[in-house]
A and B are shown apart, each in its own frame.
Chain A
Amino acid sequence: SQQGEEDPQALSIQEGENATMNCSYKTSINNLQWYRQNSGRGLVHLILIRSNEREKHSGRLRVTLDTSKKSSSLLITASRAADTASYFCATDSDSSNTGKLIFGQGTTLQVKP
């Protein structure tokens, strides 16, 4: 089974609203990463948060990490129609430095103008 599980699977909001996506994982991690994928394209990295960090910001993006609950959240504030995409979390959880990177199933976000 996949390491990262995302919730919700789909989210539809109006432009200007905030969007929150959650990711849960099963084993201890080195870091957790969030990616965005526009339809028909490859994934693009958004934010990486390390296991000793609790929160990171990048523009309108805010990521939190709770290692005690094995969960992370991605908040997009003041959403825009251009934020419409699929969002994935990925966990780097391998302690032997082989770099194994596992993705969740993703959240599909639709932002209506």
Chain B
Amino acid sequence: DAGITQSPRHKVTETGTPVTLRCHQTENHRYMYWYRQDPGHGLRLIHYSYGVKDTDKGEVSDGYSVSRSKTEDFLLTLESATSSQTSVYFCAVRSMNTEAFFGQGTRLTVV
């Protein structure tokens, strides 16, 4: 698993509440990513980071924000969760021009 930990692994939350997902890595990879996976859509990039405090938007960033204050942690925040954000969220890490390593995923349900 390349030292990647996602937390929590499962979460049920109510519409309108803020939610933060955490990705932690132990191998000092430069790049970190948050994807969501939904049936029929494959993996869609939400946000990514190319260094501490360096982040950029992906394909589906609306309603999400991220922060990376340390190399090892990349946080994804849903400011006000909506039912459309019910999904499985994957964190990934990698170094330049190499393959990505994925976390186990977080299953988020917004009710």
Q: A interface vs B, CB < 8 Å?
A: 2, 6, 30-31, 33, 35, 41-45, 48, 50, 88, 90, 92, 97-106
Contacts and interface: CB of A to CB of B under 8 A. Distances in A.
Contacts, number: 69
Contact of A2 (B33, B42, B48, B94): B42
Q: Lowest 3 CB-CB distances: which A-B pairs, in order?
A: A105-B42, A99-B31, A42-B102
Given A30-B97, A33-B99, A101 B92 contact: yes
B21 to A, nearest CB: 14
Contact of B48 (A41, A48, A100, A103): A100
Given A90-B100, A104-B42, A106-B42, 14 more contacts: A2-B42, A2-B44, A6-B42, A33-B100, A42-B103, A43-B102, A45-B99, A48-B98, A88-B42, A97-B96, A98-B56, A99-B48, A101-B48, A101-B92
Contact of B30 (A30, A31, A99): A99
Contacts of B97: 30-31, 50, 92
Given A99-B30, A99-B31, A99-B96, A44 B50 contact: no
A104 B44 CA distance: 8
A2 B92 CA distance: 18
Interface in B36-70: 40-45, 48, 50, 54, 56, 58-59
B90 interface: yes
Contacts of A103: 35, 42-45
A85 to B, nearest CB: 14
A91 B90 CA distance: 17
A2 B42 CA distance: 10
B42 A45 contact: no
Contacts of B58: 100
A100 B40 contact: no
Given A30-B97, A103-B43, A104-B42, A42 B48 contact: no
Contacts of A2: 42, 44, 59
Contacts of A41: 104-105
